[in-house]
Amino acid sequence: MKMTTTNMMDLFEEGKVLKICAPMVRYSKLAFRSLVRKFDCDICFTPMIVAPDFMRSVKARDSEFTTNEADRPLIVQFAASDAQTLADAACVVAPFSDGVDLNCGCPQRWAMSDGYGACLINKPELVKDMVRHVRNQVDNPNYTASIKIRIHKDLRRTVDLCQKAEAAGVSWITVHGRTAEERHQPVHFDAIKTIKDSLSVPVVANGDIKTLRDVETTHQLTGVDGVMAARGLLSNPAMFAGYNETPLECVWDWVDLATNQGTPFTCFHQHLIYMLERVSSQPERKVFNSLQSTAAVIDYLHNTYGSPDTQTVGLS
């Protein structure tokens, strides 16, 4: 199923702020990517895939990476700790995607103890090597090699890392504006702006994007070329289209996409729990969260919100 590659860099050239769906463990899979694409999402990331596992087993490849012809532009995110494994994984997915991204931002302990994620921001030479291997070994010149990072307390180290990656041929860089130790602290927009001002490749901002207005504010504060959202899109997949809460149309679109693609019940249900969180009362949530089957969920949605064909307005 070889597909034509979007030239990602052309998208950045158009001068608009690109709206991007973040890599989310368990959540940014094909059905959800298909949903956010219907609501003005420009680029989607796969969940983070551990490159050595992916290369070791066909079963891992089949379960971790699914896509279809409409699932573009698509960036496949890998966790890797050596350059050749990353390049090998990139070569496997290159015919079915538009770029690979190296995770240099995951702060979870397991990832860092295995040499993945945020510990890589302290290994600029290795990151440089990894980017260069992908650029040299994927035979499509339009295929991108990007990195997603967190920041250091000493921002000069982050700028140095980014400039080294740029010298190695990195296509673009996503900056989560927190350190590896920070979780819910405010995003350091000034740091993202400093990084953007220090580079000539496109920079994408990540962290605390909950509404379309946040996209615009972040762009104004930092001058970035794109904005990436994670939790904001989980609770409202139509956010990039300007909805302040999940519209009913989006809920029913999810039901169709998830059932057509055979999404496991726990994932199907969990997405709806996120989507309905802000628009339902606590007693409603309690009932909904305890439902045990797809049929029960669909019945509940029909009874509570009406069928998709009768709808004229959003949930509220």
As annotated, the binding site includes 23-25, 77, 176, 230-231
* 41 tagged catalytic: no
Q: Dump the DSSP string for 54-122.
A: HHH-HHHHHHH----TT--SEEEEEE-SSHHHHHHHHHHHGGG-SEEEEEE----HHHHHTT-GGGGGG
**Residue 253 and residue 270: Cα distance in Å, rounded?**
15
Do 273 and 287 contact (CB within 8 A), yes or no?
no
Do 24 and 230 contact (CB within 8 A), yes or no?
yes
Selected catalytic residue, list 44, 104, 106, 250: 106
Judged by DSSP in three states, 210 sits in coil
Residue ranges at the known binding site for FMN: 23-25, 77, 176, 230-231
**Residue 77 and residue 73: Cα distance in Å, rounded?**
13
Do 86 and 80 contact (CB within 8 A), yes or no?
yes
- By CB atoms closer than 10 A (0-12, 13-18, 19+), residue 290 is exposed
Q: Which residue has the tokens 């650029």?
A: 135
**Residue 60 and residue 246: Cα distance in Å, rounded?**
33
Do 128 and 164 contact (CB within 8 A), yes or no?
yes
The catalytic residues are 106
